Amino acid sequence: MSAVSPNPVRVEGRLDPQLSRWLWLVKWLLAIPHFVVLLFLFIAFLVLTIVAFFAIVFTGRYPRSIFDFNLGVLRWAWRVGFYTYDALGTDRYPPFTLGPEPDYPATLDVQYPEQLSRGLVLVKWWLLAIPHYLLLGVFLGGGWFAWDKGWDEDGRGSSPGLIVLLALFAGVALLFTTRYPRGIFDFVVGLNRWVFRVVAYAALMTDVYPPFRLDQGGPEPGPSAPDSGVAAGS
């Protein structure tokens, strides 16, 4: 069996050994400040990705300052998602920072690309990523849109995705047994890992096409990726 090649997008999570059996019921409330901040951060993320698009077209390089900011947004989003209903993997409140937090149980890094394809940037975010978008619809809930038109006749939104459903199932198990099923945790982290690989690819942060592979478990599979300046501000 061949070894798994390291992916430039590395998403990891460490399950807390002792989780509160009830805190997950109110994390949606506790995380509201983060949700508000992330709304504005992702607006900036989108605008800066457009700027990066033109920079790559003309220079073949992703501006480092923009890369570091966008990486910080993805880190922030993963920490909040890991705390809340993308994993429910920790009771430790996420820090308000764009920088790396290696001591936090959820970490995300993207290897900075020294050079990017000027031609590939024109098609990868909308055409090449379409198969992954369909899968992400199932993982995140938008897949229901394709099957049930996304909105009911009275205007209600679609059902939650697979990731949230599995995390909530784990929360119920935690409530009644005080234990988070390890198999669910490994599966949920694998799904989130898939999502962030696609997001980084669509955001032009890498030319490495996301694999159609569910790498389960908290740690990334295979050897560590080469260190080429993944930490923001390094």
Per-residue pLDDT of the chain (234 residues; tens, 9 = 90+): 445 678 999 999 999 999 999 999 999 999 999 999 999 999 999 999 999 999 999 999 999 999 999 999 999 999 999 999 999 999 999 999 999 999 999 999 999 999 999 999 999 999 999 999 999 999 998 643 433 334 344 444 457 899 999 999 999 999 999 999 999 999 999 999 999 999 999 999 999 999 999 999 999 987 655 544 444 333
DSSP 124: I
Each residue's pLDDT tens digit, 82-94: 999 999 999 999 9
H or E element at residue 165: helix 162-177
Each residue's pLDDT tens digit, 173-215: 999 999 999 999 999 999 999 999 999 999 999 999 999 999 9
